[in-house]
Amino acid sequence: MSNPLLSPALRRTLLEAVVLCVFAFAVGVSINFRVVFDAFSGRTVSATRIAQTAPVVEAQPDAAQPELFPFPAMLEELDALVADGALLVDARNADAYRAGHLPGAVSLPLGELDAKLAGFKEQVPLDRIIIAYCSGYGCPDSFDLGVRLLQEGYAEVLVYEGGIPEWHDAGRPLEGAGQ
């Protein structure tokens, strides 16, 4: 039975519009499969950045020491890591930290690292597990901070790439928010 509200031409237009959407969706997901898959599985940019940076390291066989990269940490792993004594480190600027941060996190903005690193190293032993985070969505500060902390001698540094937005979307509370 035909719908009197829709002429055959309009029905065909609607059908073609749906096909367009499905085709574009399939193309977008195919091309960006890794990004989408990583986002839905809790890993976002770290692995990609390591893959992009690694060949540069391999091209310098004479380097005195190999460059180290932090591993990604997923949201589901954070609780167990923190219970094991891991320290959450907020790589965003101080204002963003004051506006709200992960519970128990300390502030170490990448932009102020040179000024604050000595004090940080006095308070945090080198064998403590560090989990750096920032604003998610490819925010590079946590990864760059992780690389610097590894270079400074910290043995185990992880990056929580989901950062503040994933934490917040998971319904978890932020410390300092709304104060």
Residues that bind another protein (CB under 8 A): 13-14, 16-17, 19-21, 23-25, 27-29, 31-32, 35-36, 39-40, 44-45, 135-139, 162, 165-166, 169-170
Element (H, E) at 165: helix 163-169
Which of 81, 102, 132, 134 is labelled catalytic?
134
* Cβ atoms of residues 42 and 125 within 8 Å: no
Residue number with CB closer to another protein (32 or 53): 32
Give 107-134 as a DSSP string: E--GGGHHHHHHHHHHHS-TTS-EEEE-
| Minimum distance from residue 10 beta carbon to another protein (Å) | 9
139 is catalytic: no
Residue number with CB closer to another protein (139 or 145): 139
| Three-class secondary structure assignment of 131-161 | EEECCCCCCCHHHHHHHHHHHCCCCCEEEEC
Residue number with CB closer to another protein (44 or 142): 44
| Minimum distance from residue 111 beta carbon to another protein (Å) | 17
Report the sign of the C-alpha dihedral through residues 66, 70, 72, 78, in that order. positive
| Minimum distance from residue 170 beta carbon to another protein (Å) | 8
Positions marked catalytic: 134
